[in-house]
Amino acid sequence: TYRNELYVGGDGADEDENAWLSAILDATWCEWDGVYLDGDSAEDGGGGNDAVAEEKDPGATTWKVDFESITLSVFGVSIFTQRFEAGTSWTWR
């Protein structure tokens, strides 16, 4: 499980105490297996989901993140939560 937290205007060591604005992204991640997520991308040559990167170990340098939800809060009160559809993913290198 992966959690990315952003706090604006907060106190404390992590600046998360009394923040007036916060955004929290929850996701899971794994080493990428080399299978492209988007078959329409010009970067992958249009090979579809069966296309595989030409690297020996793409997971050594690239991660696949499956998004679960993002929550925005103002003065500690949640004002918006977006739950992502299954399969909403991105890869980072």
Full pLDDT tens readout for the chain, 93 residues:
889 999 999 888 777 888 999 999 999 988 877 776 555 444 444 444 445 556 566 556 788 899 999 999 999 999 999 999 998 998 877
Amino acid at 56: K
Q: From the centroid of its chain, how far is CA 27?
A: 6
Q: Running DSSP on this structure, what letter comes out for residue 69?
A: E
Tokens of 55: 């690297």
Tokens of 61: 């340098």
Which pLDDT does position 63 carry in this prediction? 84
Rounded Cα–Cα distance for residues 44 and 36 (Å): 7
Other CB atoms closer than 10 Å to residue 88's CB: what's the count? 14
Rounded Cα–Cα distance for residues 70 and 81 (Å): 6
